[in-house]
Chains A and B, each alone.
Chain A
Amino acid sequence: MQSVVGGLLGALLACSVAGAAIAQDAPIKFGKVEAKDFDPATYHNTADAPAVVLCDFGQSRIAGGDEGFYVVFERVTRVLVLNKAGYEQATVRVPLYRRDGQEEKLLNVKGFTYNLVGGKVEKQKLDESGIFREQVDNNRTVGKFTLPSVREGSILEYTYTVKSGFVFNLQDWQFQRDIPVEWSEYRTLIPGFYTYKEIPHGYLPYKWQERKVVSYSTSVRQTVHDSYGSSTGNTNMLTLTCNALNSRWVMEQVPAFREEAYMTTPRDYLAALDFELDKIQWDEKHVQQVTSTWEKISEEMLKDDDFGGYLKERSSLTPAAQALATQVPDPAARAAAAVALVQQAVRYNGETRMYAHTPLKRVLEQKQGTSAELNLLLIRTLRDAGLQANPVLVSTRSHGRIQTEVPLLSQFNYTLAQVSLAPGQDLLLDATNPLLEPGTLPEQCLNGQGRLIGPQGRWVSLLPTQRFLHFTNARLVLDEQGNLSGNVKVEYGGYAGVDERGAVAEHGEKDYVGSWQRRHPDWKLTRSAVQRLEERAKPLLLDLDVHVPGPAATTGQPLYLPVMQLFADVSNPFPQEQRRYPVDFGMAHEYTTTVLVTLPAGYTVEELPAKTLLELPNGDGRFVYEATLQGQTLQLTSRLLLRKAEYQPREYAALRELFTRSLAKHREPLVLRRP
């Protein structure tokens, strides 16, 4: 909660006389539903939809109260249920936050279900018994209610108020949902002494976006202090009158949001508006910048006990780290040693955080911590090892893209470690995943840019330093019964190596090979070995001796040999014809398969698959396939390259075709003649 500072009186003086304000009519009147509202034909984008939001209207205003200022958020929502799959709209969840004894309060919950019976609107009220509170954990509560008598064709309507002392966090507004929205409107009323930054998301246009200055008045209770600054136990009621900014955003006929494969997070695509308190200004002389510049953010982060404070503490790893300074002269190798030191001491508990939560001492004692705790400890350890290390703030892919021009801390949710190896040469490190080679970022962190926190704050590229590499190399011998046998080496490099090592760690080597076998039902594995599990810098190697029984031989007929189909590990990730949003692979990909087949003496080739070369515009990807015969040895090579991490919707058709064609090519058999 933002406490009322001593400048209240000043604020009073700073406020000028309000200008005339014409209140815009609310787009919805709670409780007023007419028979004509039930006709689905009057709404848009409703084909296939289980329900449609007729109107979603939210208003946030700042109001004074007994203990300072509050954000009061009121919502009225009306939904038409089109079929039974839309019943879930009748249960509403309102997340509420609490911290340090303060909590957001859910008030004035009211709801109606309207049914059209014989041309007349029947109305049933939400009963108190249908309202619940669930305490999720120490910081989170969910208010829930469920509306009565819901049927196909019902109109659901509810309203509620959330009163929050956390003025830094004005309620965000989401215009788009997984069902179509006919009208979505958000208004804010912010007195002049607060300024919020707005962060828009998504691709949809506003129907209206307007602001005006209006007069504003509110009352605040303030504790009276004596001339020595002690509380007298008395309170004063102050009435404040000043200007306020009245803003309004409207979207209409918003289509339902559908998730597609290879997206970062729906947040990056959904039409929404977020807010963050930017500054507080009681008068011209007293401006409190809450968020302002990246430099200030950096300064404050470094002062924070749970961030910079963490870096100041000596840890139980300090002596070992200091020893590294002399033991390992090469800085990159030393950094890797420091990562190993942290990983041996502390286990990642799976929680993604930007700030530490538990004191360093406790983390080391419990031997487990959040991503922030591990990586802040890593930074300290790197420094102890004599390296120049700094924190880098990151927004993970599931948290969303960042906007570098908006200096807001809430854009980030993760902390990485950075080491300067040479001017302009950053090594980014993360201690959460022991399977990652130091310098390779977790896939979740491949998300644009990160902000280096330190005296020389700057943006750091989070582009992948590795690709996703999948190599298969097979040497097979064909016998006269049509059986193939030989050796297959599959290498998983870069991010493919990270994935596969993760799978081995999760399921064990035996199950890992077992699941591989299940995906290749034609293969009999006579020997299998998973190699280089610990050598993270090298590709993981799956070394297999295989036997593939041939088809029952029929004399006089050619022998059809679907060799490359045995290695068709890739399936088409893009069945959909259309794409609305970019395809975000995170990194470049390469799949290469080379197969050598030795034919028995006297066998001849009747037909070989034709050579193929397909290329995406600008060389952003290609597929090459070639089959050649040299003496009695056939060589088949297939290579699929995707050079970019992200492809735009206009490139989608070509990308999809590349996959389709490469898969088809893999299915072409060789046609051989026996002597």
Chain B
Amino acid sequence: MYEKNGEKYFVVDSHMHYWDASPENWVEGAEQYAKGWIECFHAYQGLGPAETHQPIEEFQRVSEDQLMREVFEEGYVDKAIFQSTYLREWYKNGFNTTERNGSLFEKHPDKFIVNTRFDPRDGDKGMREFEENTKRFGAIGAKLYTAEWNGDSRGFKLTDPEAYRFLERAQELGIKNIHVHKGPTIWPLDKDAFDVSDVDHAATDFQGLNFIVEHVGLPRIEDFCFMATQEPNVYAGLSVVIGGLMHARPKFFAKVMGELLFWVGEDKMTFGSDYNIWTPRWQIEGLVDWDYPSDEFSDYPRLGTEGKKKILGLNAAKLYGIEVPEECRLPAPGEGAQLVDEREVAQA
């Protein structure tokens, strides 16, 4: 929890990682990709405040102690949601697997939620792994990385028939939230990696799932925004938006926030630190203090304390059914983010 000026903010970090990108984990023959990937992430860290920058060796693999300190002790986070990114083509044991994240969850079950993942190109074997992990960690969320390399393939779409098979199974297994990576870092060869039309279709066809578009489709936020206004079960995941812009480019951050508040609205935006790219502390402090820097932005919707509370934790708490302490709740229950079951009931 974060407290400022007598206001108490319940914080859900809905997009973070526990990765191993150390050279010992690089796949032989693919070292340049493994190295390129983590260096790319490291350059993103450079967009945060200087005092938070880490040497590359430390950045490649933080210890459990460091993660627990930076996220929960120094970082105000009440509940953190692990998102998986496998990248087995480049990292022997995977970059940030459900199992690796799950190892921390099992030690600190009150602190974490583990999201699983699937890759429709992995076929039946992948389906079994997805089912096992979903059950093992009680997952109600999954992360999809559509630009991931897999054998000869350089990406997939949610609308691929195999992907639909997995989404159907996900619903049966009790998954509620699909986090889709639409943003940097890796690009398929000739497709537009940020094309969100596949999310648009899937969100229409799978009303029992929420789709949280991580990184809001950056750099194509406008396509994301136009789509999100049409789909009640599409949310804006703010990972990279806050970390990559708020400190480094405050004016552009204000514009992006203005656009998101205008098209998507504060009820459907969720905070994610993208740890260990950035630590949560400065992002949370900065967002709570944030306002538009000048009159130039006067035609964008304002973001008040209530909206900040929703973005920092209350929206994600609803999506994941997380109990929020009385002192951190809003005075009156608003509309906004809901577990899909509740929305369906409300609509019925």
The answer to whether A and B belong to the same complex is no
Contact surface of B with A, Cβ cutoff 8 Å = none
Contact surface of A with B, Cβ cutoff 8 Å = none
